Amino acid sequence: MLDATLPRKASPPVQLRDAARPRRRAVAMEDLATGLRRWRLPAALARLDIRNRYRGSVLGPFWLTLSTAVMVVGLGFLYSSLFKLTLADYLPFIAVSLIVWTLISQTVTDACTSLTSAEGIIRQLPLPFTVHALRCVFRNALITAHSLPLVFLVFLATGTLPGPEVVLLIPGLALIAVNAFFVALFLGMLCARFRDIAPIVSSVMQLAFFMSPVIWKPELLGERAVWLPLNPFYALMETVRGPLVEGGVPGIVWLAAVLYTLLIGTAALAFFVRFRGRIAFWV
Amino acid sequence: MPHILAEALTIEFPLYHMGARSLKKRILAKSPIRLRQDDSNRVVVSALRDLSFRIDRGERVALVGRNGAGKTTLLRTLAGVYEPVKGRLEIEGQIGSLIDPSAGMDMESTGRENIVLRGLFRGLSEAESEAMADSVGVFSGLGEFLDVPVRTYSAGMQVRLSFAMATMMEPEVLLMDEWFLAGDADFMAKARERLARLVTGADILVLATHDMAVVREWCTRAIRLESGRIVADGPVEEVLEAA
């Protein structure tokens, strides 16, 4: 019997939607819980996104690795001589910097379309919106994973190896993942409602690239470097870059990064609780 | 006990991206019936207005009415896609919807991959989805095409795959749009049988259609919608004759 493989599921038997008593918080929390529990769906969708983007190309997603490699080598030679640093000193820094920055900036830009790109699904299938935000996170994580071999290559070539503080990489990446999720939810909603946000975001990210210590080392700021934790991009980037190439991260940076995460998390959740029911009308 | 209860159910689509104010005024002046301004001065389309009905276990309800009357919007609202702007909607029972067969289909993936993906969309585990793939493959009659990208399928093959995927369920409340009438004659005979089993297995059927023969064959009750309102609700013959 075919249907024997598909037992009736014990999903909530009564669904109640009352415009007078919307129970917004409960509905939003249920959305998050269901979406996270069903992480396999966004993971599968993210894999498809990558595969479809590079369908028929010989190198496929490794084009990303290649273009990052070219950037790293090019910028490495140029800026190490501009900043009067040795290549062995600068190359690991710029490699990690560029990869982490690309992760952050791509995620933020991609977050703007996390919901609008899923319009077809949102209007047809009642799925948790969390699924679409997670899809965006997984997609960018996968893209970045393709550049990771570069870091090892650069470490091998320059003979620098991170110390035991490298374990702090894990909480650093976790922080970025949590941020990515909230940003995907928040910007996804905001950009679905206000279509002018996406271009604003992309120009802000471009400015942020030059204003944040991606190419230049934070030390170059001299005394003014103490103000750097005010830049949320710096704080988040540093939690990953620090353990890899700078022998650890000052406590204040961790504090700032956690604080920014809490901020964006609160904003995203508040917005999600309030406007979740409107998303289907916005996309 | 499975049932659907709607009280003063209202759905309004805001028109957000509507440029100039003068254009807004002109549109409002032209169609005062379904477009209006809401409290925060936005133009909204009233898709469903003040619907109240109760559907109990065992009822087979047809939604009839002209294009744009709100049939599909009502189906989607019942499926949980749209939140009511006003009113209340209570549904007891597990919902299965056959509204858009191709929603969530990935054209670059093979038929088999799509079946697994569909299983994930429905919240099944990967193993359950894999198990589904074989039976869907047999039913759709796609044979070796099951392992070829869906992009290369003919329209009929796509319908067969969608139909086979969509009907692999046993919902208590079945929501259905009329797309299932497409497909070649040979497959339709098979499809009818499967649909009949699905419909008789479900406790409640809500079907949006233009085909009165389908309504007479399958439904016990009809609701006629006209520009977002219920204008008739009752036994099939009564509602169909009144029009």
Q: pLDDT digits over A153-192, tens only?
A: 999 998 888 888 889 999 999 999 999 999 999 999 999 9
Q: The domain containing residue A160 runs over which residues?
A: 25-51+61-282
Is residue B160 within 8 A of residue B141, CB to CB? The reply is yes
Question: Which chain A residue shows the shortest CA-CA distance from B134?
Answer: A2
Give B132's pLDDT tier (boundaries 50, 70, 90): confident
Q: Which of A34, A39, A41, A282 should be substituted to probe chain B, the one whose Cβ sees the most B Cβ atoms within 10 Å?
A: A41
Does residue A26 carry a pLDDT above 70? yes
The 10s digit of each residue's pLDDT in A37-83 is: 999 999 999 999 999 888 888 888 888 889 999 999 999 999 999 99
Three-state DSSP at A18 gives strand
Distances (CA, A) of A199 to A112, A159, A194, B46: 9, 41, 11, 32
**DSSP designation for A162:** -
Tell me if A126 and B132 make a contact (CB, 8 A cut-off). no
User: Is residue A6 assigned to a domain?
Assistant: no
Q: Does A230 touch chain B (CB under 8 A)?
A: no
Concatenated DSSP letters of A87-128:
HHHHHHHHHHHHHHHHHHHHHHHHHTTTTGGGHHHHTTS---
* Residue with more model confidence, A262 or B123: A262
Q: What is the share, in percent, of chain A residues with pLDDT greater than 90?
A: 69
Does residue B177 carry a pLDDT above 90? no
Q: Does A123 touch chain B (CB under 8 A)?
A: yes
User: Is residue A11 assigned to a domain?
Assistant: no
Q: What is the mean pLDDT of residues B26-38?
A: 64
User: Is residue A56 assigned to a domain?
Assistant: no
The dihedrals phi and psi of B91, each to the nearest 5 degrees, come to -130, 125
Write out chain A residues lying below 8 Å of B81, CB-based: 122-126, 280
Q: What is the mean pLDDT of residues A210-221?
A: 92
Q: Which of B83, B86, B190 should be substituted to probe chain A, the one whose Cβ sees the most A Cβ atoms within 10 Å?
A: B83
Three-state DSSP at A17 gives strand
Of B82, B91, B131, the CB nearest to A280: B82
User: Is residue A45 assigned to a domain?
Assistant: yes
Token output for A66: 């290649």
Does residue B31 carry a pLDDT above 70? no
Average pLDDT in chain B: 84
Tell me if A19 and B83 make a contact (CB, 8 A cut-off). yes
Q: Which domains does chain B have, with CATH numbers?
A: 3-93+208-242 (3.40.50.300), 111-202 (3.40.50.300)
Average pLDDT in chain A: 90
Give A208's pLDDT tier (boundaries 50, 70, 90): very high
As beta bridge partners, residue B95 has B173
Distances (CA, A) of A38 to A14, A134, B112, B125, B224: 21, 10, 20, 9, 38
What's the pLDDT score for residue B243?
63
First to last CA, chain A: 40
Which residue type is seen at B147?
Answer: D
Of B103, B126, B132, the CB nearest to A124: B103
* Residue B114: Cβ within 10 Å count: 26
Is residue A143 within 8 A of residue A64, CB to CB? The reply is yes
Give A8's pLDDT tier (boundaries 50, 70, 90): very low
Of A55, A125, A282, the CB nearest to B104: A125
The 10s digit of each residue's pLDDT in A116-149 is: 999 888 988 889 999 999 999 999 999 999 998 9
Give B28's pLDDT tier (boundaries 50, 70, 90): low
Give A28's pLDDT tier (boundaries 50, 70, 90): very high
> Total domain count for chain A?
1
Does residue A256 carry a pLDDT above 50? yes
What's the pLDDT score for residue A4?
37
Does residue A104 carry a pLDDT above 70? yes
Q: Does A56 touch chain B (CB under 8 A)?
A: no
User: Is residue A88 assigned to a domain?
Assistant: yes
User: Is residue A13 assigned to a domain?
Assistant: no
Does residue B24 carry a pLDDT above 70? no
* Residue with more model confidence, B108 or B38: B108
Of B80, B87, B92, the CB nearest to A19: B87
Does residue B94 carry a pLDDT above 50? yes
What's the pLDDT score for residue B21?
56
Of A20, A41, A195, the CB nearest to B121: A41
